[in-house]
Amino acid sequence: MYAILDIETTGGKYNEEGITEIAVYKFDGHEIVDQFCSLVNPEKSIQPFVVNLTGINNKMLQNAPKFYEVAKRIIEITDGCILVAHNAQFDNRILRTEFDRLGYNFEKPTLCTVELSKKLIPDLPSYSLGKLVRSLGIPITDRHRAQGDAKATVTLFKMLLEKDTAKEIITEAVKKDPKRQLEPKLLDIIEATPTTTGVYYMHRKNGTIIYIGKSKNIKKRLLQHFTNDNKKSKKIQLEVTSVSYEVTGNDLIAQLKESQEVKKLSPLFNHALKRTIFQNQLYSFIDEKGFINLKIEKVSLEKEEGKNILTTFTNYQQAKSFLYKITDEFQLCQKLNHLEKSDGSCFNFGIKTCFGACIDKENPTEYNKRVKHFIDKSSYEYPSMLIIDKGREVDEHSVILIENGEYKGYGFYNLNFQINNPEILKSIIIPMKNDRDTQHIIQVYLRKNKNLKIVKLYK
């Protein structure tokens, strides 16, 4: 749990400032679950430059509560939380100073969104809150007021959690949360998870991720994990102490995240996905007579010249069935597709579904037209494009970025200008690795979901 806050002060000498306004949003990593905002009478004058900056003046604070009157509420809303702020060192110091004056020891672990942004979104021109959120397309109202700045920091932190593909933030949060150190009942874990689509992470007591999964219904999938009596499930049930999750809004992003994060983090119980799950590939090449051949082979980690990889499969039988299907559908030659070996014509020529490319009765130009029709149908619609799908909330959309035929990453947006502005689009995209698995996942999803909005990008 996180307490995301912003504080406005009187200005003045170091450790002599007083709080004029405070806003705290209690955030569970997905949504705001509690909030508190109040002006505060600092019992001292505000510096003139601060009045100009914030618009808060001494007259506005005459009837505001003093800090000791709001201290109990601040303790309650931050209980068990990690403090998150933009320049957290400043906000934490101001709070601790105020509590010290009351004789109360206010100790909390902190996270700074300035430092996290520098690490996860490098090379931006400025990391001040105003310029940072503007460059990311995050709306902000009441700049230099506690509530407006804190609310923008919530949105920023949510984006930083997404960009943290190494899961360092959530791992540290689990480790520091004393409530998670107790061995919870599995039913309590299930109760705390949603019925929505997303990726879930099972943690040990020390925060280590031991299993990553995805589901269209996270709660239902966890119930299966915790009620199964197979060997793997029993081991997971013994070791898991908490489950964190990320809602993705749609199954495509859930599949892509699961595939890549398992390979990157290598959780103990994800044996299958640690390796490339699509073991066979279909590729095309041109033979010495000028015919385009299609052939199945084991996936190679190295790129080979002259081979155009079209798609991948989990096993050879799946690949072979697919190749037989498209050979019949596009009236291709079984021999040129390496489905049979013979000195003469192929089987399909005998039943008149092959026009004789195998015995030079059809010229390469005509034959290749049909092969290219299949290849075009199997490829991305455009070399560079955006795939728009459902987001995590009603007013949100997700976006997948494809550039020059390669998957670059995904992101979420609320406003169209965020994807129409190339610089903002680049900032909101969470970079991901392009590999055979991601290519297969995206192509299969596009084939199954014909009504997705596709935006062509012009270079």
pLDDT interval class at 181 (50, 70, 90)? very low
Is residue 459 predicted with pLDDT exceeding 80? no
For the residues 59-84, what does the mean pLDDT come to?
92
Distances (CA, A) of 416 to 158, 370, 411, 448: 19, 39, 13, 26
From 313, 259, 308, select the one nearest 443 (Cα to Cα). Answer: 313
Element (H, E) at 176: helix 168-176
For the residues 261-280, what does the mean pLDDT come to?
77
For the residues 365-379, what does the mean pLDDT come to?
88
Is residue 273 predicted with pLDDT exceeding 60? no
Kindly report, residue by residue over 211-237, the tens digit of the pLDDT.
Answer: 999 999 999 999 899 888 888 888 999
pLDDT interval class at 321 (50, 70, 90)? very high
Contacts of 303-310 spanning 24+ positions with Cβ under 8 A: 307/283, 308/283, 308/284, 308/375, 309/281, 309/282, 309/283, 309/436, 310/281, 310/282, 310/283, 310/284, 310/375, 310/378, 310/379
For the residues 367-396, what does the mean pLDDT come to?
88
Q: What percent of the chain has pLDDT over 70?
A: 94
Only one residue has tokens 């052939």, namely: 295
Helix, strand or coil for residue 79? coil
Enter the DSSP assignment of 346.
-
Distances (CA, A) of 313 to 2, 68, 165, 284, 310: 42, 65, 26, 15, 11
Contacts of 188-193 spanning 24+ positions with Cβ under 8 A: 189/222, 189/226, 189/240, 189/242, 189/243, 190/219, 190/222, 190/223, 190/226, 192/243, 193/218, 193/219, 193/222, 193/243, 193/245
Q: Which of 215-219, 273-277, 380-384, 420-424 has the lowest mean pLDDT?
A: 273-277
The per-residue pLDDT of the chain, averaged, comes to 88
Dig out the tokens for 326 from the structure: 């498209």
pLDDT at 272: 60
Is residue 303 predicted with pLDDT exceeding 80? no
pLDDT at 159: 92
The class of domain 2-163 in CATH terms is alpha beta
Contact 374, 326 (CB under 8 A): yes
Higher pLDDT: 309 or 400? It is: 400
Residue 334 exposed, middle or buried by CB count within 10 Å (0-12, 13-18, 19+): buried
Enter the DSSP assignment of 46.
P
pLDDT interval class at 183 (50, 70, 90)? very low
d(CA 266, CA 270): 7
- Sheet with 280-286, edge to edge strand ranges: 292-298, 280-286, 308-313
pLDDT at 218: 95
Is residue 342 predicted with pLDDT exceeding 70? yes
Q: Residue 265: CB partners within 8 Å, gap ≥ 6? A: 166, 167, 209, 212
Higher pLDDT: 138 or 291? It is: 291
Residue environment code for 94-128, b if the CB has 16+ CB neighbours within 10 A, otherwise e = bbbbbbeeeeeebebeebbbbebbeebbeeeeebe
Dig out the tokens for 400 from the structure: 């997948």
d(CA 426, CA 122): 12
From 123, 163, 122, select the one nearest 430 (Cα to Cα). Answer: 163
Phi, psi of 385 (to 5 degrees): -160, 165
Is residue 412 predicted with pLDDT exceeding 90? yes
Is residue 270 predicted with pLDDT exceeding 90? no
pLDDT at 277: 63
Tell me which fold the domain 168-272 belongs to: GIY-YIG endonuclease (3.40.1440)
pLDDT interval class at 84 (50, 70, 90)? very high
Q: Which of 40-44, 167-171, 264-268 has the lowest mean pLDDT?
A: 167-171
Q: What percent of the chain has pLDDT over 90?
A: 50
pLDDT at 368: 95
Kindly report, residue by residue over 423-440, the tens digit of the pLDDT.
Answer: 888 888 999 988 878 888
pLDDT at 182: 45
Higher pLDDT: 65 or 306? It is: 65
Domain map (residue ranges) of the chain: 2-163, 168-272, 280-378, 385-456
pLDDT at 307: 73
Is residue 309 predicted with pLDDT exceeding 90? no
pLDDT interval class at 141 (50, 70, 90)? confident
For the residues 131-159, what does the mean pLDDT come to?
89
Is residue 5 predicted with pLDDT exceeding 90? yes
Phi, psi of 23 (to 5 degrees): -135, 135
